[in-house]
Every structure is written in structure tokens, then in C-alpha cells.
Amino acid sequence: MNAILNRWTPAELMILQEGTNAKTYKLIKYTFFDLILKDVLRLVQVEKAMNKRDRPRIYKYVCVGKRFFSYNPHIIEKLFLDPFNRNMELQVLFGNLVKMVVKTYRNDASLQTDVILNGTLSSCFDMTTSGFWWLKRYHPSLNTKGQKHKEELVHAQEETGRQIQNRIQNKEPELLTQIKDLSGALFLLPGIDFEALEELLNKHFNLDRQTRDAFYVLRTLEEQNKEYDSSGCGSGCSSDNTDGGDGIDSGCSSDSSCGGDGGSGCSSCGGGCGGGD
């Protein structure tokens, strides 16, 4: 596999490729997928009733994974991880964590600028005096080095995309390993039907917990958040899902049980998230 696909985070790769066309929704979606697949964060199910009259429902919470303590995060990844740095036993409702990250940025341009200025990707952009201010005004321009990396990225995407497609068609066992190696960069590859890919993986491969949860994150954000509005949150951040899995509870609290109280978006659980595959 071409090394450039692992050189930067999914958000950095997308900005290298798309520049100002990179959307907050996609940057956040693929970053979250990446962190789950790498077991930096993980999901845990909690069954609870919102009040005594309601039947219990299943909610998805996010907590720290095995690689949380050794992982060196980029700026956009820190937004997902910071709540857990303050409380390692914290569990945050899936939708609430996404909402917290989205609300940090007023628009696509502010996130693009943050990603560029707070990582090695800055060396790919014109950082002269005028170039810097173009960047601050949300019009990043690739320099010669950046153009070269972009060409390298496009070549790597095409080559790796063809390889993935062949392995999908032939149901090759190496497919799952390659997907885990690519992680969030998988979604920058052209011509892949990701819904069909997930169906194939579930049918023909023995998926570990991280892979199952990562595709759950992707599928849920696709369903609930087709497009974030300029105020910083789409429909998926403001209402409960019909299955109870990803709705937004009100506020955040700590509790000695894994489920927290009936109306909290967070809980503190002495038992952590449990073991993984």
C-alpha cells in the first residue's frame, strides 16, 4: 500500500485533495471512523429508560479504547479525545460527542484552517506573508510541494482503489487487513460501494469489535447527518434516533452506574467500557 495514505490523518488527506471543498461533516465522520477502527475510542451499549413510564432502550456511548493512552492525536482528533482526558472513566452519548465536536467550528473554513495550521500539512501550503493571510481568510493554496503530494495521493488512491475492488470481487482474506491498515483513508478511494463493502464484510469475514463499531459510526452518521447546517449541527444532533441508539440526552452528569441517570448525555462508569476483541 502506498505510504502517503498513512502519512496524514483522513482530515489532512481530504484537505490536501479537496482544499476548500472539504466539508466539516465528512472531516468529522471519517475522523470518528478512524479513531474507532484504531481502538483509540470504542462504543459500549447501555440499556436504560428515560423515565419510569418508558420501556428501556439501547443507547450507544463512547469511551476510551486500548490505544487511547498511547495515541498522539491531531488537532481535530483532540476534540474527540479531550473529554476523556479529563475523566478516563467517562462515557459520552454517541450523538452528544459528535455535537460537541461540530459546535466547535462555525463553518467548513474554520476547521480547514485549524487542520492546516496545526499539523505537518502546513508545509504543503503557501506560507509566505500573503499566503498566510489567504489561509486565515480560508483560501488555502497548495505550494509546489503540496501539488506534488496531491499528485502522489491521487495515484495512490487509484492504485489502492483498484486493489480493494479486486479483493472485494474475489472475497480475498487480505481485504480486512488492508481495510484496517487504510483506516479512515479508505473513504478517499474512488469507485467503492461502502454499503456493499460492509455487507460483504459482515457476511464473509469474522469482524472484530472495532471494525463492526467503525462501520456502525459511518452508517449512523450517513443516515442522521446528510449535511450539517452553518450553525454547526444537522438533524442528527438534535433528535433521538428511532432505536434509541444515538439520540441526544440533555446535559451531562456523572453516576456510579454505567448508564448514568435517566437524562444525562454522559456517565462515569467504574468498570470502563469492557473488554474488546
- 77-87 pLDDT, tens digit per residue, is 999 999 999 99
DSSP one-letter string for 180-224: HHHGGGGGGSTT--HHHHHHHHHHHS---HHHHHHHHHHHHHHHH
Distance between CA atoms of residues 219 and 243, nearest Å: 14
Return the exposure string of 21-43: e unless at least 16 CB atoms fall within 10 Å of the residue's CB, then b: ebbbbbbbbbbbbbbbbbbbbbb
pLDDT of residue 235: 37
Question: Which amino acid does the sequence have at 254?
Answer: S
| DSSP at 237 | G
- 14-64 pLDDT, tens digit per residue, is 999 988 788 888 899 999 999 999 999 999 988 888 788 888 888 899 999
The count of other CB atoms within 10 Å of the CB of residue 52 is 6
- Which residues make Cβ contacts (< 8 Å) with residue 109, sequence separation at least 6? 20, 138
- 246-261 pLDDT, tens digit per residue, is 443 433 433 333 333 3
pLDDT reading at 150 higher than 60? yes
- 110-144 pLDDT, tens digit per residue, is 888 888 888 888 888 876 654 455 555 556 678 89
Q: Mean pLDDT of all residues in the chain? A: 78
pLDDT of residue 239: 36
Confidence of residue 237 (pLDDT cuts 50, 70, 90): very low
Residue 52 is placed in which grid cell? 419510569
Half-sphere exposure of 192 (CA within 13 A, CB side): 24
Q: Is 260 left (phi over 0), alpha (psi -120 to 50) or beta?
A: left
- 84-103 pLDDT, tens digit per residue, is 999 999 999 998 998 888 88
Residue 169 is placed in which grid cell? 470481487
The burial class, CB within 10 Å (0-12 / 13-18 / 19+), for 94 is buried
pLDDT reading at 275 higher than 60? no
| DSSP at 139 | -
Question: Which amino acid does the sequence have at 50?
Answer: M
The residue among 236, 270, 211, 255 whose CA lies nearest residue 96 is: 236
pLDDT reading at 4 higher than 70? yes
pLDDT of residue 248: 38
Beta 266-268 vs 57-64: how paired, if at all? unpaired
Question: Which residue carries 438534535 as its cell?
Answer: 238
The residue among 208, 230, 229, 210 whose CA lies nearest residue 218 is: 210
- 160-201 pLDDT, tens digit per residue, is 999 998 888 888 888 989 998 999 899 889 888 887 888 888
pLDDT of residue 247: 41
pLDDT reading at 230 higher than 50? no
Highest-confidence segment of 149-153, 216-220, 253-257: 149-153
Beta 90-93 vs 57-64: how paired, if at all? antiparallel
> Residue 43, SS3?
strand
Q: What is the pTM of this model?
A: 0.80
